[in-house]
Structure 1
Amino acid sequence: MLANLQRREPRLPKWFMPAPVIALSLAAWSPPALAYRPFDGTDAAVAAPGELEIELQPAGRLREEGNTTLVAPATVFNYGLSEGWEAVFEGQGQTPLSPTGPTSLTATGAFLKHVLQPGALQDKTGPSVATEFGVLLPDSTGNSGVGASLAGIVSQRWDWGTIHLNAETALTREHHADLFLGAIIEGPSKWTIRPVAEFFYENEFGKSETVSALIGLIWRVRDDLSFDVGLRHALTNGHPVNEVRAGLTFGFPLVPSPVILGTRPLH
């Protein structure tokens, strides 16, 4: 999602702890519902009305400036409010491994996402255009405050693949201005396993500048369940950042709907 998990990089709530078990159990009976992993950016689509989509990373590894951190779990909840609108809630646990330290709740936020122009991701012609905006909530440790973000997303699909362009401006939790520009490139959506890549540039003015590249795979087991893996390498202020991401996406209806429209593209 935007105001992303690394940039937008949990004291963990107790219900977070069994999240991987719950996720795998729900995935066994969930109908078609599609979300977006393992990227920092997002796509110009929303959950269908009454659907809950869950993006879950049970565990990931982040290494930066000689420090290793366990990212577990990282979770995004997308709920379809009405046609073309969804609510997004996200957060992640971070546990320092080397050196060791306590687990904290980070990258939490609440957002609204709206499809401004239905297009290829809504089975129409032309590009899909969406916006996402909301608040960045304080981390459970440290002195961070409340921030805000506003993003624009354009997605287009062809037979050979799909491209999603992201542009975001934000006021970070430390009250710095932030600019994020990113592009996601996917292989053909009809492939069961397809290659993916993401490139982004981010400037948190007065603090850090990041250039990042991710390569990965998305395996669509069926229309309602997919798994992903990604390797990310970045330079932040000239220092290398390496990350391993792996997770799954699934969903299920909370409110029955006779017509399901506006679902996300297959992942």
Structure 2
Amino acid sequence: MREPGWSLGSFSRYLALRVTVALTLAVWSGPAWAYRPFDGTDAAVAKKGEIEIELQPAGRLRDESGTSLIAPAWVINYGLTEDWEAVFEGQGQTPLSPSGPTSLTAAGAFLKHVVVPGSLQDKTGPSIATEFGVLLPDSTGNSGAGVSLAGIVSQRWDWGTVHLNAETAITRDHHADVFLGAIVEGPATWTVRPVAEIFYENEFGKEETFSGLVGLIYRVRDDLSFDVAVRHALTGGHPVNEIRAGLTFGFPLSFFEGHAAHQTSPSLPR
């Protein structure tokens, strides 16, 4: 028997909120790289019918195995509805020292859902989202497929924005994995804002990672931003150093439809 004044829709939203909060608390006590230049993400989705592309043309990664070129790294977000988006991501990795063949790594396909609209949606209170999907096998090696499920909480204030990420996964090597991260940004009204991220990841039975990142995001306009960041981490007790630089841009899918229609429309006689 429902309480007076409760509709089926409000009960569904309440249940979804409880499930998301329970998930977050469960894993809070393999990151979804969907917000440049971070490993974590935010509790927002692309606008309905719009494509948002996060692109790193080239980056440098140095770890215990040597130096690698990360080129390119990409995330493609497509707004399905006002509170759902599809996410596709991956990166090319080429060992430089010692040299080796280029491989496709860190690929995945996900869905993100804004469970509770908040400050990132120009409403009050925290924005709460969940992201889940499939980790696709690397193009080389013996890795398989995996799955991941994340909870994200974001809050924006005048002085800045904080995003909290908690993710649990079964990795491509079929290990259990937990990721806990926090992103802090400067004021959203600044054209150039400082950003930072820390995260802890434990791939059980394999290795732990402690990571820190600092950088800048330069917003040219609402649909175009550039970023640069440096990251230092300890993975399995070994240092990892990385330089990231890229851009984020968006456009409506109708842009292509209108362009195609213009190209195929017959010209009028003079």
2:215 matches 1:247: no
Q: 1:174-213 maps to which residues of 2 (within 5 A)? A: 174-213=173-212
TM-score, structure 2 as length reference: 0.82
Q: Distance in 2 between matches of 1:4 and 1:48?
A: 19
Cα drift, residue 238 of structure 1: 1.1
Tell me the CA shift for residue 222 of structure 1.
1.5
Report SS of the residue matched to 2:120: helix
Q: Secondary structure at the match of 1:82?
A: coil
Letter in 2 for 1:56: L
Counterpart of 1:204, as a letter, is E
Look up the equivalent residue of 1:61 and give its one-letter code.
R
Q: Is the 8 A contact 1:162 1:189 kept in 2?
A: yes
Count of matched residue positions in the alignment of Structure 1 and Structure 2:
226
Residues 208-219 of structure 1: pairs in structure 2 closer than 5 A: 208-219=207-218
Indicate the residue corresponding to 1:154 in structure 2.
153
1:92 aligns with 2:120: no
Greater RCO (CA < 8 Å, at least 6 residues apart): 1
Aligned pairs for 1:1-267 (under 5 A) are 3-5=31-33, 36-65=35-64, 67-255=66-254
Give the aligned residue type for 1:177.
A
CA separation in 1, counterparts of 2:170 and 2:64?
A: 25
C-alpha distance in structure 1 between counterparts of 2:82 and 2:161, whole Å:
23
Structure 1's unaligned 5+ residue stretches are 6-34, 257-267
Deviations 1:54-105 (A, max 9, x none): 0000000000016000000000000000110000000100000000000000
Alpha-carbon spacing, 1:114–1:43, altered in 2? closer, same or farther (3 Å): same
Shift of 1:4: 3.5
The one-letter code of the counterpart of 2:147 is A
Who is 1:26 aligned against? none
Distance 2:113 2:254 in 1: 19
User: What is the rounded CA distance, in whole Å, between the counterparts of 1:241 and 1:109 in structure 2?
Assistant: 23
Aligned AA for 1:140?
Answer: S
Query: Under a length normalisation based on structure 1, what TM-score does the superposition of the two structures give?
Result: 0.83
Q: What residue is the counterpart of 2:16 in the other structure?
A: none
Alpha-carbon distance, 1:3 to partner: 3.5
**Which whole-Å deviations, capped at 9, do the CAs of 1:213-240 have from their partners, x for residues lacking one?**
0000000111221100010000011110
Cα distance in 1, alignment partners of residues 56 and 32 from structure 2: 14
CA distance in 1, matches of 2:44, 2:222: 16
Alignment partner of 2:80: what SS?
A: strand
In 1, Cα distance between equivalents of 2:82 and 2:194: 30
Q: Give the distance between the partners of 2:31 and 2:180, measured in 1 at CA.
A: 11
Q: Which runs of structure 1 show a deviation greater than 3 angstroms over 4 or more consecutive aligned residues?
A: 2-5
Structure 2 runs not aligned, ≥5 long: 1-29, 256-270
Is the helix fraction higher in 1 or 2? 2
Q: Distance in 2 between matches of 1:146 and 1:66?
A: 23
RMSD between superposed Cα atoms in Å: 1.1
CA distance in 2, matches of 1:255, 1:78: 15
State the one-letter code of the partner of 1:147. G
**1:4–1:107 Cα contact (<8 Å) kept:** no
1:67 and 1:36 map into 2 onto residues whose CA distance is: 26
Percent of residue pairs identical = 81
Cα distance in 1 between the residues matched to 2:165 and 2:185: 14
AA aligned to 1:3 is: P
8 Å contact from structure 1 (residues 195, 218) kept in 2: yes
